[in-house]
Structure 1
Amino acid sequence: MSRTHPASPTTAHPATTTGLSRRADLSVWVLQILLALFMAVPSAGPKLVGHSSATAAFDQIGLGDWFMYFVGALELAGAIGLVVPLLSGAAALALIGLMAGAFATQLIVFDGRNALTPVILAVLFAVVAWARRHRTAELLALLRHRPA
């Protein structure tokens, strides 16, 4: 069995198997990390600790504290998923769904005051979802072939 030197032309860098250049792959990773930090700290954090700003907003929504904790848990799970390679594409897709709900809530409950924020985040999550679509395909293939 022969070994191939890491710099040899027959060894593909992971970024080249995704159709992204090495620089683009690194840029998407930076985006994923920044989005994960945003979703975990200033977004999920106040909800999960019951900060007064979050409780006031969710009181206005009218679904109670359970919904605030639920949304915070979804945001934290999405943030974690963004930095797990196999889950990154699926997490980005799930967060797009969450942002659709946030957008609707901003329009319906809060008169559109911050409606642009979930739209911008959804676009950024869409970039990640598209760039990591091969990971989502891998995840689906694994789930389909899971032994019963």
Structure 2
Amino acid sequence: MKYLSLALRGLLTLAFVAAGLAKLAGVEMMVGTFDAIGVGQWFRYVTGAIEVAAPILLWLPGKQVAGAVVLGATMVGAVLAHLLILGPSAVPAVILGLICVAVIYLHRAQLKDPLGKAAA
């Protein structure tokens, strides 16, 4: 399970950092996507920052669940945006969300002790 977790966290890190950097760099497709969503470009910057920063949590001891929850929540938003506004396939966002769920499952022991402290 250790290697599965490493592989899934590595995949999530690559995917989210790449997408986040594209958003922060103002790649034309990303600008157009957020124009279509209609919230404003500030939301592209916030989303990009989350996608670049949250993967760090995936690699900190005891914080894998937190990282996967944050990234999974962004994928819930992405799926909703695709289904309700953008139209094209939401499958990539669903797959990334499911990988986040798998990471949460693999590190579910953190849910019993979310602060990482031993029980008294």
Q: SS of the counterpart of 1:85?
A: coil
Match of 2:110 in 1: 135
Aligned partner (choices 83, 90, 97) of residue 107 of structure 1: 83
Give distance in 2, aligned partners of 1:38 and 1:32. Answer: 10
Larger radius of gyration between Structure 1 and Structure 2: 1
Higher RCO (Cα < 8 Å, 6 or more apart)? 2
Aligned partner (choices 6, 31, 41) of residue 8 of structure 2: 31
CA RMSD for the aligned pairs? 1.7
Give distance in 2, aligned partners of 1:136 and 1:50. Answer: 36
Runs ≥4 residues deviating over 4 A = none
Match of 1:145 in 2: none
> How far off is 1:101 after superposition?
0.7
Identify unmatched segments of 5+ residues in structure 2: none
Contact 1:86 1:138 (8 Å CA) reproduced: no
Residue 83 (structure 1) aligned with residue 59 (structure 2): yes
Contact 1:82 1:89 (8 Å CA) reproduced: yes
> Which has the larger helix fraction?
2
CA deviations on 1:67-102 (whole Å, 9 max, x unpaired) are 000011111122111122221111112222111110
Identify unmatched segments of 5+ residues in structure 1: 1-23, 143-148
Q: Across the two proteins, how many residue pairs are aligned to each other?
A: 118
Give distance in 1, aligned partners of 2:45 and 2:7. Answer: 28
Contact 1:86 1:136 (8 Å CA) reproduced: no
> How far off is 1:141 after superposition?
4.9
